[in-house]
Amino acid sequence: MLYYIYIGNNRIIIDHLSKVTGGMFVAVSSSQKAAKVIDGIRDRYNISILYEQTDLREADYIEISYLRKRYPRLYITLITEALKAEDRKNYLQAGVNNTLPPHAEEDSIQRMTVYLKARKESKLKEFSETHRKILNTFRLPLWKRTFDILFAGTAVIILSPILIGTAAAIRLESKGKIIYKSQRVGSNYQI
């Protein structure tokens, strides 16, 4: 499910966007309140921020930068009528991904929704492939395994009189088993 979090106070835009977005729609007045909502959502690739542009551009840049730094995976859309070239650059640097007009048509929202779903699938696939490679990267060389077996076998043969004596002493002193064994996690997290 996609979550649309609208940050702003314009009731007309809120009413319009709540009708045309297909998903969970939440309207809040500040990015701090949005952060509380976002913290309750587990999958951050399913969240789109709809940020209403205000007259205080510097405050907008600070708020958007705050959200981008705290939640780098969010998709942030600026709701605006028009942008000057300099404002466009500043909003991009703050972390805006897209812009929409306040009375965006439903097909614009649907295209964005399709993109967000494709983005999520791509990111999850990329994440799983990266972690699969990390888990499968370690391979013990054959010469090392051969050395370990030969050295351990030689050590057991040489130390066998001491080991047999220790086993007999444990059996005479204790009611438990002579050899303690348990499962351990080895290379590549295998038991």
Residues 104 and 176 in one domain: no
Rounded to an integer, the average pLDDT of 137-157 is: 90
- Please tell me what DSSP assigns to residue 53: P
Question: What are residue 78's DSSP bridge partners?
Answer: 51, 99
**What element of type H or E holds 23?**
none
CB 8 within 8 A of CB 15: no
What is the C-alpha separation between 112 and 48, in angstroms, rounded?
9
Q: Is the pLDDT of residue 7 over 90?
A: yes
Query: Whole-number mean pLDDT of the chain?
Result: 87
Residues 108 and 153 in one domain: no
3-state secondary structure of 52: strand
CB 49 within 8 A of CB 5: yes
CA proximity to 74, closest of 104, 51, 101: 51
Residues 126 and 91 in one domain: yes
CATH of the domain at 18: 3.40.50.2300
Q: How many CB atoms lie within 10 A of CB 19?
A: 10
Q: Residue holding tokens 């709701």?
A: 79
Q: Is the pLDDT of residue 123 over 70?
A: yes
Rounded to an integer, the average pLDDT of 3-15 is: 91
Among 92, 116, 135, the domain-final residue is 135
Residues 15 and 81 in one domain: yes
Structure tokens at 143: 């010469």
Structure tokens at 156: 């057991």
Residues 17 and 72 in one domain: yes
User: What is the number of structural domains in the chain?
Assistant: 2
CA proximity to 125, closest of 17, 45, 185, 60: 45
Q: Is the pLDDT of residue 46 over 70?
A: yes
Range of the domain at 78: 3-135
Residues 47 and 103 in one domain: yes
Better-predicted residue by pLDDT, 113 or 58: 58
